[in-house]
Amino acid sequence: MAIDNGFIQTLRHNILPGAPLEDIINECVTEIEERLRESDVSMLPSGVIGQNRPVSAPPGEKHLAIDFGGSSIKLGFVCASNLNISWIRTLAVTEREVDLQFFDAIVGWICDQVREYIEANRIEPDALFIIGTTFSFPLNERGEVMTMGKGYILTEEVTDVSVTTILEHSFRRVLEKRTLQFRVQLRGVINDSAAVFLANRARDGASDVSLILGTGINACFSLANARLPESKQGTGVAGDTRVMINSEIGFLGARYVKMTQFDPADEGPIMPLEYVSSGKWLPLTLEKVLRHFEILPDSLEGLEFDGKLVCAILCGATENIFGAERQKQAEEVCKVLVERAAIYTSCALLAVLQFSGHDRKATGSRAEVGFAGSFLQNCAAYRARIEELSGGVVRLRYLENSNLLGAFLHSCEGACAS
């Protein structure tokens, strides 16, 4: 297709929503309420908000935090007294079939890192490591995986089994096979959005909403237990106790997110908001648009359509790949896609704030939303546009290593509860 000066206007018309932002926000609030009542894969209670954490670990006890993300595994060792996280290591995950062997391979890598940590820090070889864990996919009240997006395939052998149980068995198999002496104790698994919520809440002045925007998108907020439907209320939990809600907001938008020929059509589960906003899907849409308008570079060798490429195009750092003219066109396409992503993300955040009790229309209303996720962290234009479209209500603040910190805080609350 030949390129003319109006192709960007055509793209904007086809991709950007036509409805006023306030209408989108109201639709989003309505869907949040519906999903809180009816959905078993979103608006999931993720534990009550505790108050305490230990100021030191008992002798011989160490704290290890593990983050099972959408595209990588990260771990770090946490100092309980000052919340410092050290010896951070990351493993890229390329396997997409999730079975017991999948977990054993990851646990094997984790054990290798623990062994190296012990040796490098001259720690007693039989030390006890208390493990806090985050998981990037929705879990039910029994800690079982409800569904997996982001290209993963959940097999039957890990269906209807809690992630804690799966990991405990994996650690047992790996430790026995390798005759390692250190011991592990898993203190629960928490969804990564709730972990970021806990890390956000540990800061002064933070709002009651946290965001993840990396490979996927998610948010966590809290509600009084009495506001939950009876099926989602915690047993023995007082009505005024605040409960963390893992929203799984990527599922939102079937009625109001404007989908196009460039967006995923046959992927499952259907996640409209995630398709238009996240670091996995936005770059794939970019590739389709560039191909449609014949803006792709002559050679695609070594070119990976991911969040890093979007950021590089917006920064003008890919002219050597696209050439001068196509670079300008690719930048304009990226701006349109980021504009769409920012519109829907800002509307979703404002809806969550409103639903959780924040008066977003009050004079001087401000909400500092802590976030995690490399895509949003590295895309300054995306962050700025979300804040602008929110009318200055949303102020985004990146929380470094928040998944790991939240996993640790959750493990401490588990210790207090037990």
In the chain the domains, ranked by start, together with CATH numbers, are 7-42+248-398 (3.40.367.20), 61-195+402-411 (3.30.420.40)
CB 129 within 8 A of CB 187: no
Residue 184 has pLDDT above 80, yes or no: yes
Measure the CA–CA gap between 190 and 231, rounded to whole angstroms: 20
- Whether the model clears a pTM of 0.85, i.e. scores above it, the answer is yes
H/E stretch holding 207 reads: none
Residue 318 in this model has a pLDDT that exceeds 80: yes
**Which of 1-5, 60-64, 373-377: highest mean pLDDT?**
373-377
pLDDT band, very low/low/confident/very high, at 142 (cuts 50, 70, 90)? confident
**Over pLDDT 70: what percentage of the chain?**
94
Query: In 228-323, where do the E strands start and end?
Result: 242-246
Residues forming beta bridges with residue 285, ordered by sequence position: none
Measured between alpha carbons, how far is 415 from 139 in angstroms, rounded to an integer? 20
User: Which amino acid makes up residue 167?
Assistant: L
Question: Which amino acid is residue 20, in one-letter code?
Answer: P
The sign of the dihedral angle between the CA atoms of 394, 246, 251, 229 is negative
Residue with tokens 């209303």: 365
Asked if pLDDT for residue 1 goes beyond 70, the answer is no
- Element housing 396 (H / E): strand 394-398
CB neighbours of 91 closer than 8 A, spacing ≥ 6? Answer: 72, 73, 74, 106, 109
Task: With cut-offs at 50, 70 and 90, classify the pLDDT of residue 29.
Answer: very high
- Rounded CA-CA distance 165/135 in Å is 13
Q: How confident is the model at residue 153 (pLDDT cuts 50, 70, 90)?
A: confident
Q: Dmax of the chain from CA atoms?
A: 70
Q: Tokens standing for 227?
A: 């506001």
**Cis? peptide before 269, omega within 30° of 0:** yes
Closest CA relative to residue 145, chosen from 166, 175, 121? 166
Report DSSP state, residue 146: -
Residue 58 has what DSSP assignment? P
- The type of residue at 8 is I
Structure confidence at residue 416 as a pLDDT band (50, 70, 90): very low
The amino acid that residue 369 corresponds to is: V
Residue 69 burial (CB < 10 Å; 0-12/13-18/19+)? Answer: buried
Indicate whether 104 pLDDT > 70: yes
